[in-house]
A and B are shown apart, each in its own frame.
Chain A
């Protein structure tokens, strides 16, 4: 239906820079979620929570797997059945640690409630984040814009 459209030579360069900024912002916010839960590995559930809580990322809600609200494994192809088994073991170990920690459970339930209710309010970030109050202020400024 659309007639053929062309792109300027600037577009690939601009889009690559925009994608770089996008990846780093999303990764940074996901890392803050992971750190809030005392984890040092960025998981798909961290990325999913950031997408749920950020208005500008609403266009990504469709491609988040449905079962990612829990500590579930990212859906993989049939070819990765063996990997699925291994990931399930890893997921179980996370679950074990999760069940053994009431504070984590409370946090998880709170987050789940926010996600289910569609609450757009951003969760308060850890006050000791990165040990640098300036970063905290800057992030608040960025989010306020």
Chain B
């Protein structure tokens, strides 16, 4: 694969690993299947961020934030994704606030280390629970 093209796509090993997580152990994925998924997810990123960027441009804002991404996912038909990402964003922001408070409290440089405080919501559970729709349009 061309190096220039490869740099614009997600790493194929990571894509393959995520694909394997959802499949039973007996399933296999062809190399071409991974390559096509790689292109699909790259297109997905451009599709969603393009929509979010357009919204920011119309509102004369320069910074695309998480709420714009949730809005873009919802407007493009990925309502389930918008719900899951909205909850994920909420947990992430809580973690950020806790980290800031913790840093202010102790003023210890070692606490500046980036810690992942947002446990990812399980994929299947988010489908089963059917939570009430959270309005993320900002």
Task: Verify if B45 is at the interface (C-beta below 8 Å from A).
Answer: yes
Known: A17-B120, A22-B81, A138-B124. A51 touches B89 (CB 8 A): no
Nearest to B35 among chain A residues (CB) is A74
Asked whether A77 lies within 8 Å of B1 as measured between CB atoms, the reply is yes
A60 CA / B18 CA spacing, docked (Å):
19
Please name all residues of chain B whose beta carbon is closer than 8 Å to the beta carbon of A11 when the two chains form the complex: 49, 64-66, 69
Which chain B residue has the least Cβ–Cβ distance from A135? B124
**Residue A63 is within 8 A (CB to CB) of chain B in the complex:** yes
Contact check, A87 vs B32: say whether CB atoms are below 8 A apart: yes
- Cβ-defined partner of B43 (8 Å) among A13, A48, A60, A145: A60
- Whether a CB of chain A sits under 8 angstroms from the CB of B13 is no
B100 at the A interface (CB under 8 A)? no
Chain A, residue nearest B47 (CB): A59
Interface size on B, residues (CB 8 A): 58
A63, chain B: closest CB distance, angstroms: 5
In the complex the two chains form, is B19's CB within 8 Å of A24's CB? yes
User: Which residues of chain A come closer than 8 Å to B48, judged between CB atoms?
Assistant: 15, 18
**Do A42 and B23 have beta carbons less than 8 Å apart?**
yes
Q: In the bound complex, do residue A28 and residue B56 qualify as a contact, i.e. CB atoms below 8 Å apart?
A: no
In the assembled complex, which residues on chain B have CB atoms less than 8 Å from the CB atom of A13?
Answer: 92, 118
**B24 vs chain A, min Cβ distance (A):** 8
- Give Cα A141–Cα B124 distance, bound, in whole angstroms: 12
Within 8 A of B (CB), among A8-49: 8, 10-11, 13-15, 17-24, 26-28, 30-31, 34, 40-44, 46-48
8 A Cβ contacts from B106-127 to A:
118, 120, 123-124, 127
Residues on B with beta carbons closer than 8 Å to the beta carbon of A63: 39-40, 43
Name the A residues within 8 Å of B30 (CB-CB).
Answer: 41-44
B residues less than 8 Å from A22 (CB atoms)? 40-41, 44, 78, 81
Contact residues in A for B26 (Cβ distance below 8 Å): 40
Interface residues of A (CB under 8 A from B): 2-8, 10-11, 13-15, 17-24, 26-28, 30-31, 34, 40-44, 46-48, 51, 55-56, 59-60, 63-64, 73-74, 76-77, 79, 87, 138, 141-142, 145
